[in-house]
Amino acid sequence: MITSQSNISLNKGWNLIALPMAQTDNGTDRNISLVSGWNLIGYTSDTNLSLADTTFNNGTNSYTWAQALSNGKQQAYLAYYDSSPSTVSQRKYKYLSAENGLDDSAFRQGKGYWVYSNQSGNLTLPVIGGTLANQQYAYSKIRVSNGSLELSLTDAGNSTYNWIDLTFKYWGVNPNTKKYGFLDLNGVDDSEEGSKSTVSSQEGVWIKSLQDNIALIRQN
């Protein structure tokens, strides 16, 4: 019996997503650990949180987002990849900012975001609830649908259907490498970060779809 499910729409090419998971609550903070440099984080709450409402704590002091910028703790713009347009040429990076007039000002469920942090610490997303922190989901349990047929991830990636590339990418946090690692059903280790078999609720993941209008399904 399915007790919890979340679906994420994919279009042909690369998609940057976060995977909402089964165990959730309401109204609690989420704290995401950041290293100095680039971080690829995931957002899984169904609350659209304004970037301006986040805070950053470096272990010594806590800063509002505006204070974190003025004190040089964070970079002003987060980046996400919008693969949703039906026209391929319109699928591109966009920017999340607390400023008016850019692409977006709030975190959205199911999206991955690039964050450049000038120092390590915690990014706090207040009272958003949603997926419990650092929950893990087995990569092999993901299913894929084209609207009329639902397949296991392995079947969706084989030559019969060819819906999806079976190698997913995540951004490693090893300070000595700062490279992509891989989620791979075959256990292929192609980088210093290595391969792994689970997805974290707080990480962004790159997925390459080979077809338009494919749905990635997480279910328990």
* Confidence category of residue 40, pLDDT binned at 50, 70, 90: very high
Domain boundary assignment for the chain: 5-15+132-219, 24-131
Sequence-distant (6+) residues with CB within 8 A of 141 are 218, 219
The pLDDT assigned to 3 comes to: 78
| Contact assessment for residue 211 and residue 12, using Cβ atoms and an 8 Å cutoff | yes
The pLDDT assigned to 210 comes to: 96
Tokens of 7: 């679906």
The pLDDT assigned to 170 comes to: 86
**Least trusted range by pLDDT, from 65-69, 102-106, 176-180:** 176-180
How far apart are the C-alpha atoms of 100 and 168, rounded to whole Å?
33
How far apart are the C-alpha atoms of 91 and 13, rounded to whole Å?
9
Q: What is the mean predicted confidence (pLDDT) over 79-97?
A: 95
How far apart are the C-alpha atoms of 144 and 51, rounded to whole Å?
31
Q: pTM value?
A: 0.92
The pLDDT assigned to 173 comes to: 59
| Contact assessment for residue 33 and residue 133, using Cβ atoms and an 8 Å cutoff | no
Give pLDDT tens digits for 93-113: 999 999 888 899 999 999 999
Q: Can you state the percent helix, strand and coil of the chain, rounding each to 5? A: 10, 45, 50
